[in-house]
Amino acid sequence: MGITKTELSNSEIQIRAYDFFNTSTSQLYVSALNILWPDGNSTFMYGNTIDENSKKLINLLPVGAILRIEVFYNAKESGKYRLRGVPRIEVMIISDDIGNFDEYYKPFVNTENLSGIYKNEKNKINIVIPGTTSFTAKAPGLTKLDTIGNYILDTKYSKGNTTTIEFEAAVSDSVFQTSKTITITDRYTLKSTINGQGCEKCIVELPVKELNEARIEVSNNDYSENVIAVKGFVIQLPDKKSIKVKGAIITEDISKQIRGLKTGASILIKDIEYQAPRNIYGNINAPDIRILIKE
């Protein structure tokens, strides 16, 4: 009997008993199957459907392969149920129709950076599709480096926060298409603090006296030892007047200009200029610091 790979993988085995005297049929419950593979190995399974591991093996069979299926049902003998077999089924694979192939062979994208794929960078990645004999991968900015799955993914060609890699892969003589969408994140998130205090979109409460000799700092989240030097910043007062400060410290001369601020007044540290080695943070702006004067 000829059958496609998908038909065989999704098949449900049934036994029908024919009564020659009453010219009627009845269905017996299939309890187990035993697949005899072309290479001489066999796989036993309970139930009347093909198990997941056998489906993978079926997908690897070439067209023309012949396999045999032994079918068993429970028969009551001497008060006990025993497995009894019926004449085996012999089938031949007649098509490379592989159905939902990508459910069994999924691509894995491994990144050199622990945090994932970064925006506007040339990311080194490794791609594998276990079980396949070969594959090709295509995506904006994707360049193949060698034959062992190493690629460069330049995300400046990607749009938005994701990019999709399209694959064409082969298993034996079969070819299928699949894809994988990966998330792209910002490599660095800068944080600004005054005297070590500060967080994104929060307000730092300080008495006015602590502004004297207060230090402005910028740090990052890349867990490196890169030193960020603050070169200057602007203090915006409640009346929108701005004071430009050189360096990272609010000196005594500057603090004299803001000493008269009352409790409840709000000032803003903005336009923070910084310098990092090799300009690794590009044009990323350091966040502002909003300060509320308290007693």
Please determine whether the domains at 102-185 and 191-294 fall in the same fold group of CATH: yes
Q: Which residues, in sequence order, are CB contacts of 232 under 8 Å at separation 6+?
A: 244, 245, 246, 247, 272, 273
80-95: strand order across its sheet: 2-4, 80-95, 66-77, 30-36, 42-46
CB atoms within 10 A of CB 148: 8
Does domain 102-185 correspond to CATH entry 2.60.40? yes
Distances (CA, A) of 124 to 86, 127, 145, 223: 57, 10, 10, 19
Q: What is the pLDDT along the chain (295 residues), one digit of tens a residue?
A: 678 888 888 888 887 765 444 444 556 788 899 999 998 899 999 988 999 999 989 888 888 888 999 999 888 777 777 888 888 888 888 766 555 556 667 888 988 765 578 888 889 999 998 878 899 999 999 999 999 999 999 998 998 889 999 999 887 667 788 899 999 887 777 889 999 888 777 899 999 889 989 999 998 765 455 578 999 999 999 998 999 999 999 988 888 888 888 899 999 999 999 988 766 666 678 889 999 999 8
DSSP-based three-state secondary structure for 147: coil
* pTM score above 0.75: no
Token reading at 188: 């660095």
191-294, CATH topology level: Immunoglobulin-like (2.60.40)
Token reading at 292: 């509320």
Q: How far apart are CA 155 and CA 122, in angstroms?
A: 7
